[in-house]
Amino acid sequence: MQMLQDKVALITGANSGIGKETAKLFAREGAKVVITGRRQDVLDAAVKEIGDGALGICSDVASIGDHQRLAAAVGERFGAIDIYMANAGVIELSPSADVTEEEYDRHFAINTRGVFFGVQTMAPLIRDGGNIIVTSSLAATKILPQHTVYAGSKAALAAFAKNWALEFKERRIRVNILSPGPVETEILGKLGVSEADRPAFERHMADLIPAGRMGHPSELARAALFLASETFVNGLELLVDGGMSLT
């Protein structure tokens, strides 16, 4: 039997990377999957990849109004959801001296505020016994160069999730944190790593990771599937980093 048979999963920021791979895996495991992103054309392409009746809804996690519209649309279509994965995020690397007010606000609007109000808005839709997965980052607990603002925006998520795990105990909703290390996704290009520089960058990262390589989105998807499945795990921060946290 499929692990998520007849479940409904809503994954934010799932038009690429970890979110998209997770959506594909959840669909293969029997879930009805709703994904969000800020560009409908990219969402439509992702929906075709995911298949199995996936639904893409254009939504910006930085907007409380968009959260409310998303909740209304999903509630009308499905009635309720079983899994909410707050995955959407942004990363821009800068030394603290160079961080602009706009860069700071963008990180906290998407990575922190977006997660908080996403959970607040979607919680009434989550069935009792359902679960929430919050995507954080190794950077929240390990000091990495030029990650200060990004790390700060992600560090709050562990506090949110652990408080929610207790707040939702009467409804038996589990809340866990997925914290990736370096992963091979499109985000490398957004960090300024060109295709020409990518092999050297990956070799450098491999030297820092006991596993000897960067992670793949499919490996993070399998970790998310574990958290979304029927387990006794609650309030856990799961580091999926190839052992980089040990170095």
Alpha-carbon gap, residue 35 to 27, rounded angstroms: 11
- Cα distances (angstroms) measured from residue 118 to each of 41, 125, 149, 168, 170: 23, 11, 21, 15, 20
Q: Beta 126-135 vs 81-86: how paired, if at all?
A: parallel
130 burial (CB, 10 Å; 0-12 / 13-18 / 19+) is buried
Token duo for residue 12: 């934010």
229: DSSP letter = S
84 an active-site residue? no
Name 211's bridge partners.
none
Alpha-carbon gap, residue 44 to 56, rounded angstroms: 6
Q: Which residue among 26, 84, 117, 150 is the active-site one?
A: 150
CB atoms closer than 10 angstroms to residue 110: 21
Alpha-carbon gap, residue 120 to 101, rounded angstroms: 26
Catalytic residues: 150
